[in-house]
Amino acid sequence: MEVRFLENDFVRSYKKYSSAVEVEGISESFSKDVLRRFTRNKGAVIGCLSIFLIIVMSLFGPYINSHTYKSIIIEHSSLPPKVPVLQNIGIADGVIDGRDIYLEKGFEDIAYIFGTDTLGRDLWTRTWVGTRISLYIAGLAMFIDMIIGMSYGLVSGFFGGKVDIAMQRFIEILSGIPNMVIVTLLVFILKPGIMSITVALLIKGWIGMSRVVRAQVLKLKEQEFILASRTLGTSNRKIIFNEVLPNILGQVIIMSMFSIPNAIFMESFLAFIGLGLQAPLASLGVLISEGFKSFLVFPYMVAIPTIVLAILMLSFTVMADGLRDAFDPKMKEM
């Protein structure tokens, strides 16, 4: 190896050690870090955008046309989807088995984007109104998880001892009651509807989250920075909010995201078996339930709400997955 020596190479440099040499990159807060990692995950970003789109559609979709979710025009029953632009390419052109239904019934100049159901109700409006219900369930599930589940787990785990034992025993009793029993009882008392589903979720939906939070808190409690806070005289309340909470929030958000698909599906399932929302109310589950009856003849009636449901659930799952990866600082220290 050829090295060209310079004149004063072999003279002592007497350079003093300077800690400025160790600039460790920009001071990034944890949340910015997470955001950066999240946006790099294409799947997660797509999931996030899909959810956003669906939310927009559910809010504004129903206003595109003049139909409401329960307006019945019996003459328009069972019309297949007909989308003005796409029909020219042959998709959604109002044709089933080669027969143009709109033509047959003499409605060439009207179009139902998602078609109609057996009672002549506009499926476009009903689908998006139904999605609102599902989104409400999603938000409710997340809310219950984070507020009730997280608080319960925090208190139980942090204070430990008799408090913890009592709180855990309570949960064990509660979770021993099967979901179906609770729902049936509620339906009996409150009559099927959005209220009974809300209460059902309130009663049991948060148990899983509280267990996970409790486990996290138990682990965190013995960490030295918590002990340090205690030796510095920090009050319990401050420790819980300033020290413990920020370190579990990530996990909590992710876990509650993962519980959303389950909650949405539960509502749909209940609707499907007749214990959920009743007609003429629309929810994705109700639509699937009604559409199922005509599945073989008019598949679009069940297909459309199912697809929306599937996209919604998948998007939440993918987004939660991406969030979890973003929160996990694997290669932080080499």
Partner 1 sequence: MADNNTILEVKNLKQHFKVNKNFTVKAVDGISFNIHEGETFGLVGESGSGKSTTGRSIIRLYKPTSGDVFFKGQRISDQLDSKTTKTLRTQIQMIFQDPMASLNPRKKVMDIVAEGIDNFELYKNKAEREQLVYQILERVGLSKEHAKRYPHQFSGGQRQRVGIARAMIMNPELIIADEAISALDVSIQAQVVNLMKEIQEESGIAYLFIAHDLSMVKYISDRIGVLHLGHLVEMGTTDDIFKRPIHPYTKSLLSAIPKPNPKVEKESTPITYNYETSGIDYTQGLSHEVEKGHFVLGTDDEITQWKSASQIGG
Partner 2 sequence: MENNILTIRNLDISFTTSSGSINVIRGIDLDLKKGETVAIVGESGSGKSVTVKAVMGILSNNGVINDGSIHYNYLDDHGNATQRDIVGMRQKDIRKEISGKRIAMVFQDPMTSLNPTMNIGNQIIEGMRQHYKTPKKEARAKAEELLSLVGIDNPKKRMKQFPNELSGGMRQRVVIAIALSCDPEILICDEPTTALDVTVQAKILELIKAIQLKTKVSVVYITHDLGVVAKVADYVAVMYAGRIIEKGTIDDIFYSPRHPYTWGLLSSIPDIDNFEEKLYSIPGNPINLMNKFEGDAFAPRNEYALNIDHRVEPPMINVGGRHEVASWLAHEKAPVLEMPASLKRRIENMLKEGY
Closer residue to partner 1 in complex, CB, 4/237: 237
Q: How far apart are CA 152 and CA 174, in angstroms?
A: 14
Q: How far apart are CA 58 and CA 53, in angstroms?
A: 9
From residue 246 to residue 265, the character string flagging contacts with partner 1 as x (rule: CB under 8 A) and all else as - is xx------------------
116: β partners: 122
Which DSSP state fits 239?
A: I
Segment contacting partner 1 by CB under 8 A, of 18-26, 40-48, 163-171, 173-181:
18-26
Q: Which amino acid is at 267?
A: E
Compute and round to an integer the Cα radius of gyration of the chain.
28
Closer residue to partner 1 in complex, CB, 188/225: 225
Q: Record the tokens describing residue 212, joined without a space.
A: 């996970």
- Asked if 24 interacts with partner 2 (CB under 8 A), we say yes
- Asked if 30 interacts with partner 1 (CB under 8 A), we say yes
Question: Cβ(227)–Cβ(289) under 8 Å?
Answer: no
Question: Cβ(34)–Cβ(251) under 8 Å?
Answer: no
Nearest approach, Cβ of residue 258 and partner 1 (Å): 22
With CB under 8 A as the contact rule, the residue among 11, 85, 89, 296 that binds partner 2 is 11
Q: Which does 108 bind (CB under 5 to 8 A by kind): partner 2, partner 1, none?
A: none
- Asked if 9 interacts with partner 2 (CB under 8 A), we say yes
From residue 274 to residue 313, the character string flagging contacts with partner 2 as x (rule: CB under 8 A) and all else as - is ----------------------------------------
Beta-carbon contacts of 112 under 8 Å, excluding residues fewer than 6 positions away, are 76, 79, 81, 82, 122, 123, 124
Q: Which residues bind partner 1 (CB under 8 A)?
A: 19, 22, 24-25, 27-30, 223-225, 227-235, 238, 242-243, 246-247, 329, 332-333
